[in-house]
C-alpha cells in the first residue's frame, strides 16, 4: 500500500481534465504531503489557482515532458508520478504525426528515465482503448507508450522504481469528448454521428481517477490495469442528449473504429480477471506483476473485451442521468 500522507505526488498534464479531478480528490480525501502540477501551459496553471486550486501542499511547475532535464528537476524528492500528459485529439495527431510521437512516445521515455534517475518509487501511466489494435496514430503512440512503461521495469534492477499502466475507455464529458459536441449541435436541432452501429466503452472522470488511485496502491510493476466498465451505443447517446433532434449519419472518419477493444484475444492469455477489473500481466515471468495470477482467475483462451460484445450496457435513461451534471456545466460555461 501507499503511505499517501507522507508521499510527494507529481502529475504530468496536471491542468487537464484528469489532472484537475485527480488533484481535487487528492486534496479532499487523500491529503498527500505535497502535490506537484507539471504542465506546459502557464495560463491553465493560473486559471487553476484562480479557481481555488491553491492549497498549501500544491506546487506548480512549468515544463514539457519532451524536456528531460526539466522532468529530472521536477522529480527530485517525488515518490509517485501519475503520467497523464499526452496529445490525444485523433485528427490533430494524424495531421501532426511527429508532434504526437515527440509527446506521447519520447515524452513517456523521458518520464521513465527521469523517474529511474531520481528514485521515484511508483509511476503509473494513463492509456486508452485505442492502444489495442490501433488504427490511428494516437492509438499507435499510446501502444508504444504502454510497451515502454511495461518493459522499463527491466531497467529498475535493484532500484525501487516500478512502472504500470491503466487502460480505459472514453471519459464522459472530458476535453475532446463527444458530449459537448452533441450539446452544441442540439441547439441547431440536428446531431451528426458517423455510424449508427458504433459502440464505445464509457467511464466517468471520477471513476477514472479513483481507479488510477487504487491501481497506484496495488501495482507491483509491469501491469496494465483495465476496469470493467459499461458500453453504450453512440446513437443512444445522441437520443439521450437531444431526443427531438434530427440525427444525420455522415460516415465513419479516417482512424475511427466501429467498436473499441480494451483487451485483445492475444492479451487474454496473460490476463487475470478480478471482481471489477482485469490485470494484464507482463509477459516476462521474472517481472514483478506476475503475482496477480494467485489473486484472480485466468481468462479463457481467445477472450476479447470489446465494446460491442460487452455484457454491461447503458440504457438511454442511464445515459441521461450520467450526462445531467455535464449538461449543467455546459449551461453554466464551467465544463472542463
pLDDT value of residue 253? 84
Overall average pLDDT of the 308-322 stretch: 95
Residue with cell 494467485: 294
pLDDT value of residue 331? 74
- Our separate counts of H helices and E strands in the chain read 12, 17
Pick the CATH number of 4-169+203-228+261-307 from 3.40.50.2300, 3.40.30.120, 3.40.50.720, 3.30.300.30: 3.40.50.720
The pTM (predicted TM-score) of the whole model is 0.95
The x, y and z cell numbers of residue 72, run together, are 529530472
Overall average pLDDT of the 27-51 stretch: 97
What is the domain partition of the chain in residue ranges? Answer: 4-169+203-228+261-307
Overall average pLDDT of the 159-170 stretch: 95
Overall average pLDDT of the 220-245 stretch: 95
Do residues 309 and 201 touch, judged by C-beta distance below 8 A? Answer: no
Mean pLDDT of the chain: 93
- Residues with active-site annotation: 130
Whole-number Å distance between alpha carbons of 70 and 54: 22
Q: Where are the alpha helices (DSSP H) in the chain?
A: 17-25, 42-50, 68-75, 90-95, 97-100, 107-118, 137-151, 153-156, 178-186, 205-218, 234-241, 316-332
Predicted confidence (pLDDT) per residue in 92-139, tens digit: 999 999 999 999 999 999 999 999 999 999 999 999 999 999 999 999
Amino acid at each position: 500500500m501507499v503511505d499517501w500522507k507522507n508521499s510527494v505526488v507529481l502529475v504530468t498534464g496536471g491542468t487537464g481534465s484528469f489532472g484537475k479531478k485527480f488533484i481535487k480528490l487528492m486534496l479532499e480525501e487523500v491529503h498527500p504531503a505535497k502535490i506537484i502540477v507539471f504542465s506546459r501551459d502557464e495560463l491553465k496553471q493560473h486559471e487553476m489557482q484562480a479557481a481555488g486550486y491553491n492549497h498549501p501542499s500544491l506546487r506548480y511547475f512549468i515544463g514539457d515532458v519532451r524536456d528531460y532535464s526539466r522532468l529530472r528537476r521536477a522529480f527530485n524528492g517525488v515518490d509517485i508520478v501519475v503520467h497523464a500528459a499526452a496529445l490525444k485529439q485523433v485528427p490533430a495527431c494524424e495531421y501532426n504525426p511527429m508532434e504526437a510521437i515527440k509527446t506521447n512516445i519520447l515524452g513517456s521515455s523521458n518520464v521513465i528515465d527521469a523517474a529511474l534517475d531520481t528514485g521515484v518509487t511508483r509511476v503509473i501511466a494513463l492509456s486508452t482503448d485505442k492502444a489495442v489494435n490501433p488504427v490511428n496514430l494516437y492509438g499507435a503512440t499510446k501502444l508504444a507508450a504502454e510497451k515502454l512503461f511495461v518493459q522499463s521495469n527491466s531497467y529498475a534492477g535493484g532500484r525501487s522504481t516500478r512502472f504500470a499502466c491503466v487502460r480505459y475507455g472514453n471519459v464522459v464529458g472530458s476535453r475532446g469528448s463527444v458530449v459537448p459536441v452533441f450539446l452544441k449541435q442540439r441547439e441547431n436541432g440536428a446531431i451528426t454521428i458517423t455510424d449508427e452501429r458504433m459502440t464505445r466503452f464509457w467511464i466517468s472522470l471520477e471513476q477514472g481517477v479513483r481507479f488510477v488511485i487504487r491501481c497506484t496502491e496495488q501495482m507491483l510493476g509491469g501491469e496494465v490495469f483495465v476496469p470493467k466498465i459499461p458500453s453504450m451505443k453512440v446513437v443512444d447517446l445522441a437520443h439521450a442528449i437531444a431526443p427531438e433532434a434530427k440525427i444525420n449519419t455522415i460516415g465513419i472518419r479516417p482512424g475511427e473504429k466501429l467498436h473499441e477493444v480494451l483487451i485483445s484475444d492475444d492479451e487474454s492469455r496473460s490476463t487475470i480477471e478480478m471482481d471489477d477489473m482485469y490485470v494484464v500481466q507482463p509477459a516476462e515471468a521474472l517481472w514483478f506483476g506476475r503475482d496477480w495470477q494467485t489473486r484472480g482467475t485466468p481468462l479463457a483462451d481467445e477472450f476479447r473485451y470489446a465494446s460491442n460484445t460487452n455484457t454491461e450496457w447503458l440504457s438511454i435513461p442511464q445515459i441521461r442521468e450520467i450526462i445531467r451534471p455535464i449538461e449543467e456545466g455546459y449551461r453554466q460555461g464551467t465544463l472542463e
